[in-house]
Structure formats: C-alpha cells, structure tokens
C-alpha cells in the first residue's frame, strides 16, 4: 500500500513549480490532493496530472492573504475530498530591493503572502488534525529563513517569520501526533528563479545565462536545486518514517548553509 493512501493533502501555490511537483509527489504516494493558487488554468493542469496518477484532485482558486478565502477553501476541500490532514504552505512571493527602496507595499505584501497566509491556512486545518491525532504541516521557506543577504530585507523577514511559526506550532502540537516542519531550499530551478535571473540581467547588463551562473554559484554544488528534490523531501516529511522530525527547518542547498 502507498505510504499516504487514504490521506487528503492541501497544497497552496500548487499550480506550478515547487507546488506542482509537491502535489504530484504526494499523489504518487497515494494521497488525494487539493491544490490552490490564484491562477485557475495552471491549477487545472496540476489536478489533471493528479487524476492521471489515479488519485482524486480538486482545484481551488484562492488568495491566501484573505482569511475568508482561506476558510472557504478549507471548507471546499472537506466537501470534495475530506479533511486535509496534510498541509503544504507553498504559496509565496519574492522581490528584492535596497532597504531604502523597499516600499510599504512590498514589505506588507511579502509578509502577508509568505507568513500570514501560512498562519491562516495552518489555523484553519489544525482542528481536524487535532481531532484525528495525526497531521503534517510543511512550510516551504527558504535559506533566507536562516540567513540574511543584501536587498532581501522584506523577503528574509517574511521567511524568518515563517520559520518562527513553524517552530512555535511544532512545539504546541508535538504530543498530539502532528508534526510541523519547514523546507528551506536555496535557489530552485523554477519560473520564480527565471524572474530573478532576468532581474539580475536587467540591473547589471549581464546576459541571463551569466546571471543564472551567479545563482548557481551560491551552492557549493554549482547548480540550482530542483523542484523534484523539494517535493521528495516534503513527501518524506509526510511519512510515518519522519514522525520524529518536528520543528525543523531542513536546508536543501547543496551545503552552503549548514544549520
């Protein structure tokens, strides 16, 4: 029997990139998967792939920064699939600017998506996990949750907040059969990183190929991580084999950040 057979998972930011890879990894382990994001077309493609793997799937358009939308999303998952006892908070945004150029809107927006959205989603699903005495929450953070760097004050603050949320909730539910962990990847080969390379190229005059090499150079392995690697680690954290892993921020960057 597949490891997650009979489980219901909810993956935010599930239309593409890491979220899509996570949804498919969970489906391959036997879970039925609801995916949420702001783009309906991409969600339908992900759900089609989940169903092609023989699992039930549900696509839900949702902006996680609005609590009523989150509550409605979770209610719909319950109606369509059942209680989501696996939650992957993957919805996220990234932007860079000097602190003096960081606007109020950039700061607020980063915190609302990357931290407050995860708070809303976790709070909404936790009662069912507590009742079931089993649950898995995985927050997709970043190495920016563990360290600072120039020009990412808002992003790093939001990911540090997400890691803090992870640790606090993990401590709160540790004796209740629930684990809460964060995955902290370095640069991952996704459309978001493509946008970062384009931004570097436009600011520095370098080619996008050279800009990509800069990002690859942040890893001692000289490469970008892959969405599949993040998804594999996430699926492992959902397994019974990982039941002793709780309150951790697991770094996936080839060895640059060792903590």
Within-domain flag for 162: yes
- Same domain, yes or no, for 170 and 111? yes
Q: Give the pLDDT confidence of 201-251 residue by residue, as tens digits.
A: 777 788 888 888 888 999 999 999 999 999 999 999 999 999 999 999 999
Residue 1 has a pLDDT of 62
Q: Are residues 95 and 117 in the same domain?
A: yes
**How far, in Å, CA of 154 to CA of 144, rounded?**
10
Task: Please indicate, yes or no, if residue 197 is contained in any of the structural domains.
Answer: yes
pLDDT at residue 197 in the model: 80
Query: Is residue 130 in a domain?
Result: yes
pLDDT at 116 over 90: yes
Integer Cα distance of 52 and 166 in angstroms: 33
- Ramachandran region of residue 222, left (φ > 0), alpha (ψ -120 to 50) or beta? left
Residues 35, 163 within the same domain: yes
Report yes or no on 178 lying in a domain: yes
Residues 141 and 218 in one domain: no
If asked whether residues 133 and 16 sit together in one domain, one would say yes
- 1, part of any domain: no
User: The domain spanning residue 111 has which CATH number?
Assistant: 3.40.50.720
The catalytic residue positions are 155
Q: Which residue has the tokens 């902290």?
A: 184
The whole domain housing 201 covers 188-224
Q: Give the whole-angstrom CA distance, residue 39 versus residue 188.
A: 21
- pLDDT over 90 for what percent of the chain? 86
For residues 172 and 92, membership in a common domain is answered with: yes
Both tokens assigned to 25:
């990894």
One domain for residues 217 and 122: no
Helices (H), 53-190: 67-80, 104-111, 117-132, 153-173
22 sits in which H/E element: helix 17-28
Same domain, 89 and 77: yes
**Is residue 39 over pLDDT 90?**
no
pTM score, two decimals? 0.94
The answer to whether residues 140 and 239 belong to one domain is: yes
Mean pLDDT computed over every residue of the chain: 95
Please state, as a whole number, how many other Cβ atoms lie within 10 Å of the Cβ of residue 186: 23
């Amino acid at each position: 029997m597949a490891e997650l057979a009979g489980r219901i998972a909810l993956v935010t930011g599930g239309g593409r990139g890491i979220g899509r890879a996570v949804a498919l990894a969970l489906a391959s382990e036997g879970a039925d998967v609801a995916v949420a994001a702001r783009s309906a077309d991409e969600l339908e493609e992900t759900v089609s792939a989940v169903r092609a793997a023989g699992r039930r799937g549900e696509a839900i358009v949702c902006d996680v920064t609005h609590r009523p939308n989150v509550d409605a999303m979770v209610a719909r998952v319950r109606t369509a699939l059942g209680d989501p006892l696996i939650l992957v908070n993957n919805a996220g945004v990234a932007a860079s600017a000097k602190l003096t150029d960081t606007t109020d809107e950039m700061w607020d927006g980063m915190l609302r998506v990357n931290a407050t959205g995860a708070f809303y989603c976790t709070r909404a699903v936790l009662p069912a996990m507590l009742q079931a005495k089993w649950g898995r929450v995985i927050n997709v953070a970043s190495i920016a949750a563990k360290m600072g760097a120039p020009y990412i004050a808002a992003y790093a603050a939001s990911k540090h907040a997400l890691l803090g949320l992870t640790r606090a909730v993990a401590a709160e539910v540790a004796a209740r059969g629930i684990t809460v962990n964060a995955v902290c990847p370095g640069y991952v080969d996704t459309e978001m990183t493509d946008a970062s390379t384009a931004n570097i190229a436009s600011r520095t005059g370098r080619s996008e190929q050279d800009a990509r090499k800069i990002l690859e150079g942040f890893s001692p392995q000289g490469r970008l991580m892959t969405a599949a690697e993040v998804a594999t680690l996430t699926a492992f954290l959902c397994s019974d084999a990982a039941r002793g892993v709780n309150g951790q921020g697991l770094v996936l960057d080839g060895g640059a950040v060792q903590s």
